[in-house]
Amino acid sequence: AADDQVSTSLNAQSAIAMSAAINSSTEFTGVRAIVGETSVIMANAIAASTLDGTDFITLNDQKITGFEVQANDADGSLKDAINAVSDETGVVASLDKDSKLVLTASDGRNIEFSTSAAGIAGNLLAVDTVTTGNLTLQSDYQFDIEHTAAGHTALALTDLGAAGAGA
């Protein structure tokens, strides 16, 4: 978790933290991790709703409230409200072709999204969620990734015959 100072939830499981753990062993494993962006597409098109003191969205610890959301975010108010706090959240909002909300953190931080009311949740996501970023692993050698029953992941380097513990 100390390696990820920007995620608001599940820091130790973030792509940033996993990358730091893998990269701390690169000299032994030959494997390097690169953090990719985090992206989540909401389950449903945006339905009309009111965000107020009772019904609101929380995105990476920032409460988003105080306006009417039009169906399909026709006036862009939801997207604009999320983007207005992007300096605090690290998340940028857009809409896909089906008027679903797309949240993206280009630095790979986790995206923590929750709603205060079932109606709003049904409009966007079925449940509150934390989405983690992507990792790309690179090496000059062939390697395998093995996941054990205990939930541990190990990198096995075929050409070097070495193994390094991953995150």
Q: How many CB atoms lie within 10 A of CB 153?
A: 14
Nearest CA to 14 out of 38, 32, 30, 45 is that of 38
Q: Is 156 exposed, middle or buried (0-12, 13-18, 19+ CB in 10 A)?
A: middle
Predicted pLDDT of residue 148? 64
Nearest in space to 67 (alpha carbons), one of 79, 83, 78:
78
Q: Model confidence over 63-119: pLDDT tens digits?
A: 999 999 999 999 999 999 999 999 999 999 999 999 899 999 999 999 999 888 665
User: pTM score, two decimals?
Assistant: 0.81
Q: Which two tokens stand for residue 45?
A: 């098109």
15-61 pLDDT, tens digit per residue, is: 999 999 989 989 988 899 999 999 999 888 888 888 888 888 999 99
